[in-house]
Amino acid sequence: MRLVVKHHIALKIAKKHGVAVAEVLEGKFLYMRVKGNRYRIIGKTVGGRYLTIFVDKKGQIYELVTARDSTDSEKKVI
């Protein structure tokens, strides 16, 4: 999977959610289509943090929309 992260999105998730782009790129994750080309990805990073990530699929590329800590109900999916 090729993931594109725009600079302003990286800044937003770091400031608002305390998520570093490196965390999004590591660990084991479960992919689920939400609607259209939007996917929700839930998983656990190598550091043990549970994240929920949203991406948009554009051809063979995925573009990061946002990333945040998973809710308790999302953690149960893993």
Would you place residue 1 in the very low, low, confident or very high pLDDT band (cuts 50, 70, 90)?
Answer: confident
The structure's pTM equals 0.91
* Chain centre to alpha carbon of residue 4: 12
Whether residue 26 is predicted with pLDDT greater than 90 in this model: the reply is no
Position 25 scores a pLDDT of 87
* Mean pLDDT value of segment 17-39: 93
What total of structural domains would you count in the chain? 1
**Domain encompassing residue 18:** 2-75
Q: What CATH number is given to the structural domain containing 16?
A: 3.10.450
pLDDT surpasses 90 at 32: yes
